[in-house]
């Protein structure tokens, strides 16, 4: 694959990204939010570099350190990009059934499922 030329391409505009948060680990209240991230002549190279930082950190903490002695200074190492959090998601009911099954609940027994859900509330 050829190198991506990004030094001369710039992004302008706003990109919205949604999420949710709690005040801390013990909090039960959840607030949803949307960040409107503004780009004003930001190079595509800068955006990609920032997006790839977690990939670099994971590699260093995993394969990199395990095989440190096999690498030479300045070596280029090719790795595959894996999109974080992009695995297919289950709908809420499928997730609840999977959680109940993992807890040992007979998922074919409606009364047992209801009891499990009520216990979780």
Q: Tell if the pTM clears 0.85, that is, is over it.
A: no
Q: Is residue 96 part of a domain?
A: yes
Domain that holds residue 107: 88-121
Q: Can you read off the two tokens belonging to residue 103?
A: 């807890």
Q: Is residue 111 part of a domain?
A: yes
Q: Is residue 13 part of a domain?
A: no
Q: Is residue 74 part of a domain?
A: no
Closest CA to 4 of 58, 81, 57, 72: 81
Q: Is residue 17 part of a domain?
A: no
Q: Is residue 94 part of a domain?
A: yes
Q: Is residue 92 part of a domain?
A: yes
Q: How many domains does the chain have?
A: 1
Closest CA to 65 of 57, 55, 75, 76: 57
Q: Is residue 103 part of a domain?
A: yes
Q: Is 3 helix (H, G, I), strand (E, B) or coil?
A: coil
pLDDT, one tens digit per residue, over 62-109 is 888 888 888 899 989 888 776 655 555 556 777 778 888 888 889 899
Average pLDDT, the chain: 82
């Amino acid at each position: 694959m050829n190198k991506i030329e990004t030094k001369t391409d710039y992004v302008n505009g706003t990109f919205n990204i949604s999420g949710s948060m709690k005040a801390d680990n013990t909090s039960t209240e959840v607030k949803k939010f949307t960040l409107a991230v503004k780009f004003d002549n930001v190079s595509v190279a800068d955006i990609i570099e920032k997006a790839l930082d977690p990939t670099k950190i994971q590699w260093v903490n995993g394969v990199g350190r395990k095989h440190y002695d096999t690498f030479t200074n300045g070596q280029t190492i090719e790795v595959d990009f894996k999109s974080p959090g992009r695995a297919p998601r289950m709908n809420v009911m499928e997730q609840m059934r999977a959680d109940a099954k993992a807890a040992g609940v007979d998922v074919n027994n409606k009364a047992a499922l209801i009891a499990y859900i009520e216990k979780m509330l």
